[in-house]
Amino acid sequence: MGSILLFDYNLLIVTCEVLLMKMGSLAAQIYGPTTYNGSSYSWNQVSGAKFMFFTQKRKPSTFKASSGLSKSSVFSMGKKNNCSVNISKIDYGRIGQFGLVDENVCGINYSIMRSKKEGGQHPFVVTCLANGEINAEEKVNVLVIGGGGREHALCYALQRSPSCKTVFCSPGNVGISSSGDAICIPDISSDSSAVISLCQKEAIGLVVVGPEAPLVAGLANDLVKAGIPTFGPSSEAAALEGSKDFMKSLCYKYGIPTAKYQTFADPIAAKQYIKDQGAPIVIKADGLAAGKGVVVAMSLDEAYGAVDSMLVNGIFGSAGSRVIVEEFLEGEEASFFALVDGENAIPLESAQDHKRVGDGDIGPNTGGMGAYSPAPVLTKELQSLVMSSIVIPTVKGMAEEGCKFVGVLYAGLMIEKKSGLPKLIEYNVRFGDPECQVLMMRLESDLAQVLLAACRGELTGVSLKWSPGSAMVVVMASKGYPGNYKKGTVICNIEEAEEVVPAVKVFHAGTALDSEGNLVSVGGRVLGITAKGDDLQEARDRAYQATEKINWPEGFYRQDIGWRALPQKQCSSTC
């Protein structure tokens, strides 16, 4: 049995007819060889003929498909064992790698079905281009590791990806599961064998590791060794975030602009260096400290206290067994992200977050109280400079050090006031939180395919499509954060917040359900109310209107997210 699909581009009419036929030697004689790359199936024009085709070889079945040219495209699926074609979706309006390029282009999403004993369902995404070319990609199941707001945003974007079949998240959270953005399963991130077993059971074709801790612990090493495509660096490459001393040493070796520094394990020596340098000065824990291991000391006494808390009192455990004492840079901070495949890098859109807990950027540092994208401070010229002077030298330097980086490089930058030039403050080896939320709201490309391209070392030539306008996220946190805070407080009106204005999504970071089914807080940063708008002002207005709808007396939020980009209008709402 085979199936033929006739597609008329002008009338946008799809006709599907089931015919009795055998595809065998005749098809092979007509069409010639195909291109096969990993799980990507490339359709190529056959010279002198009006047909294109691909072949997928899988035990115990072989599938063949053929296609005609632009005005009328014909798909036929050969049968071996139990094979049928199910037309599941016609997409007339998607823009990007797998969709609408001009008025003559439509995407077709269909599935190859086999009996369970022969391996079940193997879905594909097929795009017919107006010039007669066709691209086909096998759909993949994706596993996201993590359970915060960043992971919710990644699940949200992956769920929208045409080439993504099913999204799993471990452990995820109640917001991810209740919104249908992923199927949540218990936390297995600390057990590589359990992750590998799940990937084999659910036919996972891509693992995306959200948090830094599993990466530093070597989860990506184990998954790649098991043959599972994994977006995230090896433990050796993750040292860019896992050890600030490693990162700073790499910068000095490869000429990457950063603040001058010294590393200390002896508190007396550290204090003497601080005295010599003077205040303000920055003290950082060398290891992972959940975004809280940085103290910007405005006085010598404050700097000495930070050294004692880390090196003497061990507030961050082994992560603070060494400290970096760093030059204070004056200017405006910004976040820059790039996807890296080991040798090549492509930039994401810019974003800017708000680290301090209080309005006007006062108080202790947090994991992030809000963000917006794009960041006006990062002009196109500065972005090009960041790529050429910071990101590319880092990628090449890591390769020369024998630990190629695959994943996302998150560069925390300072645009220096005195020079106007960017300097690297720190690297993270994963998407930022909450920057990821605004980036995923704006991303229009097929995220699953882009991340797979990075895993395969195939980012060269890949371009990303972003929605115009801006996005902003306002973080709601438990009162007392980043210090002690109460857990288990009830949160209401999430749905109302998402419906009060257009283009709003509430990402969950620290939520759960109590015994009575109430949504409650279980973390410091709990919700990320994210909105898109035609410009930053509209995105901000929508984000705050939605935030004000949420009924959570034990929560708080900054009222001035975006103040650097929109200083003329402060948010008038009250917490």
> pLDDT per residue over 500-521, tens digit each?
999 999 999 999 999 999 999 9
Do residues 111 and 124 lie in contact, with contact meaning Cβ atoms separated by under 8 Å?
yes
Do residues 172 and 187 lie in contact, with contact meaning Cβ atoms separated by under 8 Å?
no
pLDDT of residue 207: 97
> pLDDT per residue over 350-406, tens digit each?
999 998 999 999 998 898 999 999 999 899 999 999 999 999 999 999 999 999 999
pLDDT of residue 318: 85
The residue-averaged pLDDT of 190-207 equals: 95
pLDDT of residue 110: 38
Checking if the pLDDT of 528 tops 90, the result is: yes
pLDDT of residue 560: 96
Structure tokens at 152: 């919710």
Looking at the chain, the whole-number percentage of residues with pLDDT higher than 70 is: 74
pTM attached to this predicted model: 0.76
CA distance 164 to 351: 26
Checking if the pLDDT of 181 tops 60, the result is: yes
pLDDT of residue 171: 97
Q: Which of 11-20, 234-243, 273-282 has the lowest mean pLDDT?
A: 11-20
CA distance 386 to 524: 32
> pLDDT per residue over 484-493, tens digit each?
999 999 999 9
- What 3-state DSSP class applies to 184? strand
Structure tokens at 393: 């030298």
Going by C-beta distance under 8 Å and a sequence separation of 6 or more, which residues neighbour residue 45? 52, 132, 133
Cα dihedral angle (565, 566, 571, 575), rounded to 10 degrees? Answer: 10
The residue-averaged pLDDT of 203-220 equals: 94
> pLDDT per residue over 16-73, tens digit each?
222 212 222 222 223 323 332 323 333 333 232 222 233 333 333 333 333 332 322 3
Alpha-carbon torsion 386, 389, 390, 391, what sign?
positive
Q: Indicate the pLDDT class of residue 567, thresholds 50, 70 and 90.
A: low
Residue 44, Ramachandran bin (φ over 0: left; ψ between -120 and 50: alpha; else beta): beta
Checking if the pLDDT of 102 tops 60, the result is: no
Checking if the pLDDT of 97 tops 90, the result is: no
Instruction: Please state, in angstroms and as integers, the Cα–Cα distance from residue 334 to each residue in 209, 258, 350, 383, 453, following that order.
Output: 23, 14, 8, 11, 27
Q: Indicate the pLDDT class of residue 292, thresholds 50, 70 and 90.
A: confident
CA distance 444 to 349: 12
User: In the beta sheet, which residues pair with residue 14?
Assistant: 7
The residue-averaged pLDDT of 538-561 equals: 97
Going by C-beta distance under 8 Å and a sequence separation of 6 or more, which residues neighbour residue 187? 147, 170, 171
Whether the bond between 257 and the residue before it is cis, its omega within 30 degrees of 0, is: no
Checking if the pLDDT of 214 tops 90, the result is: yes
Q: Which residue in 295, 563, 560, 348 sits closest to 465, CA to CA?
A: 348
Is the pLDDT higher at 542 or at 25?
542
> pLDDT per residue over 296-316, tens digit each?
999 999 999 999 999 999 989
The residue-averaged pLDDT of 119-135 equals: 45
CA distance 421 to 423: 7
The residue-averaged pLDDT of 239-244 equals: 92
Do residues 460 and 467 lie in contact, with contact meaning Cβ atoms separated by under 8 Å?
no
Phi, psi for 260 (deg, rounded to 5): -70, 155
The residue-averaged pLDDT of 139-144 equals: 94
Instruction: Please state, in angstroms and as integers, the Cα–Cα distance from residue 12 to each residue in 92, 234, 239, following that order.
Output: 8, 47, 52
CA distance 133 to 101: 12
CA distance 275 to 506: 46
Other beta carbons less than 10 A from residue 193's beta carbon: 10
Q: Cite the beta strand spans of 114-238 per DSSP E.
A: 121-128, 134-138, 140-146, 164-171, 183-184, 204-209, 230-231
Q: Which of 42-56, 101-115, 278-292 has the lowest mean pLDDT?
A: 42-56
Other beta carbons less than 10 A from residue 513's beta carbon: 13
Structure tokens at 438: 């605004």
Q: Which of 108-122, 418-432, 463-477 has the lowest mean pLDDT?
A: 108-122
Do residues 84 and 3 lie in contact, with contact meaning Cβ atoms separated by under 8 Å?
yes
Q: Cite the beta strand spans of 10-105 per DSSP E.
A: 13-19, 35-37, 40-42, 44-45, 52-58, 61-67, 72-77, 84-91
Looking at the chain, the whole-number percentage of residues with pLDDT higher than 90 is: 65
pLDDT of residue 319: 84
Q: Indicate the pLDDT class of residue 137, thresholds 50, 70 and 90.
A: low
Angle at 314 between CA 312 and CA 319, to 5 degrees: 125
CA distance 312 to 410: 31
Structure tokens at 43: 């359709």
The residue-averaged pLDDT of 235-256 equals: 94
The residue-averaged pLDDT of 184-211 equals: 95
Going by C-beta distance under 8 Å and a sequence separation of 6 or more, which residues neighbour residue 308? 267
Checking if the pLDDT of 536 tops 90, the result is: yes
User: In the beta sheet, which residues pair with residue 364?
Assistant: none
Q: Which of 11-20, 142-151, 462-471, 535-544 has the lowest mean pLDDT?
A: 11-20
Task: List the 40-42 sheet strands across, edge first.
Answer: 35-37, 40-42, 134-138, 121-128, 106-113, 84-91
